[in-house]
Structure 1
């Protein structure tokens, strides 16, 4: 604002921080008898525009009849407080937000009208500025899911998501990247791939997500080994120095609207193909990637249930990426069982360290998946002849060069550290003898989440068997790790009521 004065004093209120954690949702609280509520006709759950001397935010309003607040006070959630940059007792201006014109475009899509690029741009600008509430976001997501986007619309959505966030610019001609569409516990190949690729002199500035519905995201796992919440400048310095990084994408502002959409889609249990494609590619385009390898695991309890689903999604990803001059290679992989042994941030980090350090007991499946994907990137970058990428990746890992590079990346990000260990464990054993024939990835992930992952970094579970293993009754199938007795109890109870999470021949 140009002056220290706010608008008409009748709509100015003194602020109080309520220390209310609403994640990224700005919330405001007013007394029912507040003069502003009466003069403006604000009802509970109204959208209000809050303006301080520093910034403006759109918040959802709730009301109270208690004396928690004075009539001339407004309480703010932590998210609103931080956005407005205020202190207790300072004044802010409260008013109605401007009419949300872009919602008419969303309504048109509900009735089957194709959206133009300019309409996607207006929608995404309104979303990122907080003008859409959760109901309106749900309306947008439903329209995208129910009225499939054509190729032009998908490009328009992706481009609009890129346009409302930061965009990285690198002074090198080739920037490599990797992404997995998810749904497979323990599939934490990214740190291995980044280290292998960077050790070969290529540039791979990797931004990763935190867990959405899983027991660990790549950023959660990496955070047990090194800091991941870097500023944009710090991230760029790490990449300039070491050729690669593994940082949390949310800290550098890439495609910020994606996190807002994912939060609502998760509650709706909605997984629209167009949203997935736009989510993945908007972050890669914003990160400045030129070449990308995409891992699409297929399995009965993975996100993609059939090879046909994976091929269709892969083609959509590849063709949309090409419109951004982004070369994408699709790898359809086995998603029938978890990867490695650990499920949960610290346990997955220990698997990574075992692979990096050449431990003879390191999970071979994790190493093999990482080598296959890194091999594609090495061939992209000209560091391996066609067909020799996996062998070059293996040489880099076995020589110790990848481990040295990973340590250097961690130091550049703030220092390598030891993953924590849980204070409580309990073993889940086989009820019958036989050959392991099936994993329910989703319910196995739920055991890890009930144990406290990813909020408790040391929590999760450690697998002792894989498909094809012979077990006897009483043999350990997996060990639950937890940091509190209560969380261990929740996980143990769920595991006990779902004895077929890991099935043997005798169970089927």
Structure 2
């Protein structure tokens, strides 16, 4: 037996065990070829990637160390006695081999794979094999089966007595597109429940949870979230506590580095979480543009049809809005700047970004028409009334008060650089991907005050030397990285 040690190492959704090379209880060589180890005690077990340690200050010869995610999943106290066994390869991996060979998998086979993925029985290499095989060939039936399997592998919320449960989701890729923070208070002010669980940014300068955390606490336990939805009709919280479709979080952690983002996996990912969240009515926003995730109208229609087919089979009332993704939305890119834009719209500030306002009203109006009491075509007018009357602002203020104050006060980065136009002319395009990259290099979203403040949008005139946007950062290193990237290509095209 070995003594369990908790190591404060964040291995980002991967279970990692650390064993001293001079282990007194086991021959390290017995595990080296496998690359993994199974840790067991008292009916609990955990499969983990194995790292070998030579420094006894990290892990002593009679200890096994577990990283943060692994220690939390095993659920034993530090100092517990555990033993090690060679891991048994998951039987479902034979199904992955079949998929690599071009086979179409049944619902039961996909469920077996997803159960093992959720139980952390797959290594990242094995998960990558499954994802690449699915990216190469996947039937519509398999997309539905994968979605069902991902729903079944996690928590499923129920909202007894609330009737219609509305939700929205944008497939992403457009900086500043923080419409959820306007849509939720509008819909909640109308009285339609809209529990919005959002993710933190992985590759973007801000997720909805990151931006909302400028204004309020988003780290809300599931029971508290359900209570505040009953009280305020809406919320804007981080989804990490709810464990909705945990297999999706694991798959995404492998998809991102491999740049795998197929429409089939996108649909399964989004719909599994929305069904698990208890949504009955869902609006999907698909932005289309030259630097968006979806770049043509034809691709948008094909994705819409897949969403509609799978959503219908899952019992969702689902609509899709195909929107303009040709440039960033609003003026801010980064949590503090995006929160500024959101609140300007909710406060009916004449200087607030009109594109963010109109986009949010379009989406909110579509959602309000899920309510049988709202006549078809009148949703936008109702949404506009709720915004312009101040009801949406009051709704947002109530949600903020119930969720509680943010963990820290976030302020705009004090290091500022203006990126100037190289010529006289008209702004013809803004590269969403490039601008998002510059904002991330400036420190967003980890540094909530970092990002880009856009001063020109498509169609605006500009003279040589006038600023196109401002970079904000808080540290010299981030500031230097962002400026260098902007100097190489600032992401804005100006034509004479």
TM interval, shorter chain, is over 0.9
Q: State how far apart, in whole Å, the 2-side matches of 1:29 and 1:462 are.
A: 44
2:13/2:253 contact within 8 Å kept: no
Choose which of 164, 180, 185 in structure 1 pairs with 2:170.
Answer: 180
1:453 equivalent to 2:444? Answer yes
Aligned to 1:71: 61
**C-alpha distance after superposition, 1:5-61 (max 9, x if no partner):** xxxxxxx11123332221222211112232454277110662211124584321100
Of 368, 373, 376, the residue aligned with 1:386 is: 376
Of 183, 191, 202, 1:212 maps to 202
The TM-score with structure 2 as length reference comes to 0.96
- Match for residue 458 of structure 2? 467
Root-mean-square deviation (Å) = 1.6
Shift of 1:423: 2.4
Whole-Å separation in 2 of the counterparts to 1:464 and 1:295? 26
In the other structure, the counterpart of 1:192 is 182
Sort the Cα spacing of 1:85 and 1:273 in 2 relative to 1 into closer, same or farther, 3 A.
same
Look up the match of 2:482.
Answer: 491
Distance across 2 between alignment mates of 1:413 and 1:482:
28
Asked if 1:155 is matched to 2:144, the reply is yes
Contact kept? 1:55, 1:83, Cα under 8 Å: no
Alpha carbons 1:321, 1:327 under 8 Å: kept? yes
Structure 2: 5+ residue runs without aligned partners?
Answer: none
Equivalenced residue count is 493
Aligned-partner SS, 1:169: coil
Match of 2:434 among 437, 443, 446: 443
Give the secondary structure class of the aligned counterpart of 2:115.
helix
Matched, 1:424 2:402: no
Query: Residues 395 and 419 from structure 1, CA distance in 2 versus in 1: closer, same or farther, beyond 3 angstroms?
Result: farther
Query: Greater shift after overlay, 40-49 or 377-386?
Result: 40-49
Bigger Cα displacement from structure 2, 95-104 vs 85-94? 85-94
Does 2:425 align with 1:434? yes
| Equivalences for residues 291-370 of structure 1 within 5 A | 291-370=281-360
3-state DSSP of counterpart to 2:369: helix
Query: Match of 2:10?
Result: 21
Normalization by structure 1: what TM-score? 0.94
Q: Which shifted more, 466-475 or 58-67? A: 58-67
The alpha carbon displacement at 1:382 in A equals 2.9
Q: 2:384 is paired with a residue of what secondary structure?
A: helix
Unaligned stretches of 5+ residues in structure 1 = 1-11
Shift of 1:418: 6.2
Q: Provide the C-alpha distance between the structure 2 equivalents of 1:448 and 1:36, rounded to a whole number of angstroms.
A: 50
Paired with 2:288 and 2:129, the residues of 1 have a C-alpha distance of 30
Q: Give the whole-Å Cα distance in 2 for the aligned partners of 1:415 and 1:455.
A: 18
Aligned equivalents of 1:109, 1:70: Cα separation in 2: 42
Contact 1:250 1:256 in 2 (8 A): no
How far the C-alpha of 1:89 sits from its partner, in A, is 3.5
1:383 deviates by 4.4
> How far apart are residue 238 of structure 1 and its match?
0.8
Residue 169 and residue 67 in structure 1: after superposition, are their counterparts in 2 closer, same or farther (change >3 A)?
closer
Aligned partners of 1:493, 1:310: CA distance in 2, in Å? 35
1:324-368 CA-to-partner distances (Å, cap 9, x unmatched) read 110111111111100001111111111111111111110000010
Confirm or deny that 1:111 pairs with 2:104. Answer: no
Q: Measure the CA separation in 1 of the matches of 2:211 and 2:76.
A: 34
| Cα distance in 2 for residues equivalent to 1:242 and 1:89 | 44
State the alpha-carbon separation in 1 of the partners of residues 69 and 380 from structure 2: 46
Match status 1:49 vs 2:49: no
Q: Hey, what does 2:390 align to over in structure 1?
A: 400
**Counterpart in the other structure of 1:169:** 158
